[in-house]
Amino acid sequence: MWGFKKKESLDMRKLLPLVMKLGNFLKEGYDHYIDHRQLDDSLSKQDVADFIYVKMESWNPLIKGKEILDEDIKKAAAQFVAGLAINLAKE
């Protein structure tokens, strides 16, 4: 209708390693936040995102042979995961 051809469907099984790795980063961010909270040291969301981003630096997942994370997307992913970690840690 709009002149677009239907592209092949994305195989969700190929996303599983990506999702699992994001889960690992979530756990690391959560643990980091909890550890600092127990020390009575407050961390901001940006602090947690920076911590996660450093952990992500060498991570370059491929899907269909393509690198899917550029620096902007990696920073956004770190922000997203940091937000999840902090929200999960709230009492």
The whole-number mean pLDDT for each consecutive block of 10 residues of the chain, a chain of 91 residues, reads: 68 90 98 89 92 96 91 97 96 77
Which pLDDT value is given to residue 2? 63
pLDDT in the model for residue 55 = 97
**Burial letters for 61-70: b for 16+ Cβ neighbours within 10 Å, e otherwise?**
eeeeeeeebe
Query: Given this model, what pLDDT does residue 5 score?
Result: 67
pTM given for the model: 0.84
